[in-house]
Structure 1
Amino acid sequence: MTTTEPILQLDQVSRVHGQGAAEVHALRAVDLTVHAGEFVAVMGPSGSGKSTLLTLAGGLDRPTGGRVLVQGSSLGELSRKRLAQVRRRAVGYVFQDYNLIPALTAAENIMLPRELDGVPARTARREALAALAEIGIEELADRFPDDMSGGQQQRVAIARALIGGRNLVLADEPTGALDSGTGEAVLAVLRARCDAGAGAVMVTHEARHAAWADRVVFLRDGRLVDETGRLSADELLVAATGNAQGGEE
């Protein structure tokens, strides 16, 4: 049994949007713990709460109930300044829609969180070029987002999440805009980061991508309804289908 302090811990986390008749329970009392070296995949049907789980884990939103802890710090108890520091230093986030700044080059987009944290521009650029090389797109360093394909923008977004030795990587469908070969290469990079001691949580609807993970959790209607260890893609496809079609617990 793992005895190290969790990198990420969700303790009875709930998120409710709206009030009264418009109230929507995006997450319902979810418990999830991720340790150093763990790669966790999150699967579930559309609207099950997968992206909500990631935004809460990354401190981009606050839970209605429960606590989110990153490296032992409860995000809900941090000041806005301290929360921003945790996001820059400890958490790498891969957004489904990339979230690149159009006026900045690929390298400048990747450098930005490091520069905001006081790292000199020359050092930040060196780190950005190393992150681009790790993903295999160093030739895009001085290209602007509008001059890239969707797949290239996605890979720049992944490089941005890896810069600075962050210990927690959160990825929302990180291979969605990539061809199968490039997607597998990106997953290999995430796997290697976990093998080197980081923790990662990846939302995916692809069983073959979830098969890279050490553990797969399934959400339905905002609840964590099942969890598996490492399975093959075929086994995960069966499990995912059953959890998508199952009734309320």
Structure 2
Amino acid sequence: MTDLGTRNPPAIRCTGLRHSFGDKVAVDGIDLEVPTGQVFGLLGPNGAGKTTTLRMITTLLPVTHGSVEVFGLDAGRRMAVRRLIGYVPQQLSADGTLTGRENVALFARLFDVPRRERKDRVAEALDAVGLTEDADRQASGYSGGMIRRLELAQALVSSPRLLILDEPTIGLDPVARSNVWARIEQIRADTGMTVLVTTHYMDEAEQYCERIALMHRGRIRALGTPAELEANLGPESTLDDVFRAVTGDQLDEGGIRDVRAARRTARRLG
């Protein structure tokens, strides 16, 4: 395994990573590196294995075959790895009965932010996502875009070196989507944070991701910059064209639960 003292390890290194749920192979031996400081897109249809991969990287699922390292730390060192990561899951994590400030303060405690630093760190996270004025309102009164920004603040309160976003703009209108990404870009510019994101919006991936891995049926099928992937397919190709060429038109049957979950989230975000 890579030692933490190794110079400039990648933010993420997956080697021979595999995971199954019973007889269903969700992740089928992937090798993947995410360089430190990049915005990296992990794309693919529902059921491709993206969320399972993210859950192993975030230590929410055990790594049973292959290996995962985060900044040189083996994912088996769960608490050490979790201190380096901020995670915004696809499903809503904000509590509507709490205020925005209370939601972020709860995550500060969960991520073991030192007590003496919590008040300032909560305020900084809320300010970073533009929610200072609304911080003491109950989250149930927030718009969909505000909820996503609140969840981003929850992930940022521990000052992570790696931010992992699973469909961060699902169900949002174009203005709200742009606002969320503007916050992510500003925070990354200020901190040098690495970002790993999944999205079904190809325009987002093309505009914001420096490199992309396209995943289908548990395997990485294509890897490169958006421009490289488009050029490899042919003149005037778009990222939508690349996605269709790599994944085809059929949705894996195992992905229907992901589709339903995504629709539930979209309805809740309005």
TM-score, shorter chain, exceeding 0.5: yes
The aligned residue for residue 56 of structure 2 is 56
Measure how far apart 1:246 and its partner are: 8.1
Measure how far apart 1:239 and its partner are: 1.0
Q: Does the aligned pair in 2 maintain the 1:135–1:159 contact within 8 Å?
A: yes
Describe how 1:100-249 pairs up with structure 2 within 5 A.
100-116=94-110, 117-120=112-115, 123-195=117-189, 196-211=191-206, 212-231=208-227, 235-245=238-248
Q: Does the aligned pair in 2 maintain the 1:14–1:30 contact within 8 Å?
A: yes
Measure how far apart 1:62 and its partner are: 1.3
Provide the rounded CA distance (Å) in 1 between the counterparts of 2:35 and 2:14: 12
TM-score (structure 2 length as normaliser): 0.79
Report SS of the residue matched to 1:201. Answer: strand
| Correspondence 1:10 to 2:33 | no
Provide the rounded CA distance (Å) in 2 between the counterparts of 1:143 and 1:155: 14
- The percentage of counterpart residues that share the same residue type is 28
Give, as a single letter, the amino acid of the residue that structure 1 aligns with 2:133: E
The C-alpha deviation readout for 1:211-239, integer Å capped at 9, x for no partner, is 2110011010010110121438x721121
Segments of 4+ moved more than 6 angstroms: none
Give the CA RMSD over aligned residues.
2.3
TM-score (structure 1 length as normaliser): 0.85
Measure how far apart 1:61 and its partner are: 0.7
Q: Does the aligned pair in 2 maintain the 1:107–1:125 contact within 8 Å?
A: no
Give, as a single letter, the amino acid of the residue that structure 1 aligns with 2:9: E
Which one is further off, 53-62 or 111-120? 111-120
Give, as a single letter, the amino acid of the residue that structure 1 aligns with 2:248: Q
The C-alpha deviation readout for 1:127-159, integer Å capped at 9, x for no partner, is 222222222222231223323233322211011
Give, as a single letter, the amino acid of the residue that structure 1 aligns with 2:205: A
Provide the rounded CA distance (Å) in 2 between the counterparts of 1:186 and 1:150: 11
Structure 1 residue runs of 5 or longer lacking an equivalent are none
Measure how far apart 1:69 and its partner are: 0.9
Provide the rounded CA distance (Å) in 1 between the counterparts of 2:52 and 2:203: 23
Give, as a single letter, the amino acid of the residue that structure 1 aligns with 2:149: R
The C-alpha deviation readout for 1:21-54, integer Å capped at 9, x for no partner, is xx10010011111122111011111111111111
Q: Does the aligned pair in 2 maintain the 1:42–1:203 contact within 8 Å?
A: yes
Provide the rounded CA distance (Å) in 2 between the counterparts of 1:188 and 1:137: 14
Paired positions, count = 234
Provide the rounded CA distance (Å) in 2 between the counterparts of 1:143 and 1:84: 32
Q: Does the aligned pair in 1 maintain the 2:108–2:122 contact within 8 Å?
A: no
Report SS of the residue matched to 1:138. Answer: coil
Which among 84, 89, 92 is matched to residue 90 of structure 1? 84
The aligned residue for residue 43 of structure 1 is 43
Q: Does the aligned pair in 1 maintain the 2:96–2:139 contact within 8 Å?
A: yes
